[in-house]
Structures are given as structure tokens and as C-alpha cells.
Amino acid sequence: MTPPSASSPTPPPAIPLIQRVVAILWPSFITAGIATIVFATVFDPKTLFMEYDFSRMAIYSVSFFLFWLMGVINAMSTCFFLMPCSIFNKCKTRQDAAAPE
């Protein structure tokens, strides 16, 4: 076996798409469940939305999905900001090289 050379490091193996999707959806699902429990414990939905004719279950369901959506946005932005800057620098370098002077 030959040792890896210092000039050409091998890139890490690609993470499968399903694993990336689950890495975003699962933590946000758990967070949404906890946030819904806290929300339902602190606030009574019937008093918050008194002027609307919604059941408590409907309000709990909508709040769960809203919390889940906020968690997904949070997890996706975290994954975006974890990407190495070299990816964006390569794209910028290619654009600068292709731009007419």
C-alpha cells in the first residue's frame, strides 16, 4: 500500500442523499415535538385563538408543522454554513477566469 501524497489529498466519500435528508429532518422533527409540548403546556390554544373556530387538535397540529418547518430551515442553514469555503472560491475563480476583460 502506498502512502497518500501530500500534494493530492483524496476527498472524503460522498454522503448518500437519503442520509443527508434524514440528518436534517430527524433532529428538526424531535425539536418540533419538544417545542409543541412546551407550547401546549404554556399556552392554551382556545384562549389564544378565541375568535377562530379551530379545535385544540388542529392548533396543535398546525403549530407542530410550523415548528418542524422552522427546525428544517435551521438545520439546512447549519449544513450550508458547514460547507468548506473552497467550494465557493473555486466557483468564483472559474467565473473570474471566464469573464471577459
Contact residues for 19 (Cβ-Cβ < 8 A; gap 6+):
none
| Model confidence at 65: pLDDT above 90 | yes
Tally of CA atoms within 13 A in the half-sphere of 40 that contains its CB: 16
At 61, the pLDDT band (50, 70, 90 cuts) reads very high
Cβ distance 27 to 75 under 8 Å? yes
Provide the whole-model pTM.
0.69
Give the pLDDT confidence score for residue 46 in this predicted structure.
Answer: 81
Using alpha carbons, list the distances in angstroms from residue 42 to 11, 47, 48: 48, 12, 11
Average pLDDT, the chain: 82
